[in-house]
A = this chain, B = another copy of it.
């Protein structure tokens, strides 16, 4: 009853004992390096890591040393830390990413060659479109997307395609939360989005225009696995024009079909 038998705590601003496990603390350290949006990858000092992870400096010091020893973090000459190659090495072995990427890459290359536009490959992960691959030429319009980026489902071509073929409860939940408007043309009204999703399912293709990045539009199509489930989406992002280019749309469709076939999909109908 009453207060716990705390030793000698000077009131202060809620010490709030940290009941995270060692593992959770180790993870918190890595999470401190998660790059925010489309920024360059982070490089942090020990103190910065400690702050971001909410850990005492000495604990951070010890745990960071463990990460460095294993290769999950690297210490640079200037004393800053960044994510280490070991992490990259294990990361690229993750089955979902690796298998899809390996199979899809040749088709993405073809698509890039025929269109010379940014090519994206993304999957649905939680409430986001997670970008697995991105090909772009030298010219390349500046985009926020990059490999490993998470972008909203309702404002990107791949995102909308993924949402269009997602289980209805996922759609329900996604639309329930307020959708952010990035540009005047971003569609954020739930019912309007629903109507779009139906059109996408009908057409087997999504067309976006100026909803995430000014001056750029995109065309996206679904990729299916052997069971017919949509598991990913491909897209190209072009400079916005008013005319629909049937050749580009056909190229995206073909790429998506190619990958689907390589994944073992044999289209049932149509």
Q: Is B85's CB under 8 angstroms from A97's CB?
A: yes
Q: In A55-100, which residues have CB < 8 Å from any B CB? A: 63, 66-67, 70, 72, 82-85, 87-99
A176 near B: Cβ within 8 Å? no
Contact of A92 among B82, B125, B147 (CB under 8 A): B147
- Which residues of the partner chain B approach A137 to less than 8 Å between Cβ atoms? 106, 109
Find the B residue at minimum CB distance from A96.
Answer: B85
Query: Do residues A90 and B34 form an inter-chain contact, with CB atoms below 8 A?
Result: yes
Please judge, given known A-B contacts A106-B136, A135-B105, A146-B102, whether A82 and B66 are in contact too, CB under 8 Å.
no
Chain B's closest residue to A72 (CB) is B27
Known: A27-B66, A102-B146. 12 other contacts (CB 8 A): A24-B66, A33-B90, A41-B99, A84-B94, A85-B94, A85-B130, A88-B97, A91-B92, A98-B148, A101-B147, A106-B137, A113-B113
15 example contacts (A-B, Cβ-Cβ < 8 A) are as follows: A23-B66, A27-B72, A34-B89, A35-B93, A41-B98, A82-B95, A83-B93, A83-B94, A84-B94, A85-B125, A87-B91, A88-B97, A88-B148, A89-B130, A109-B137
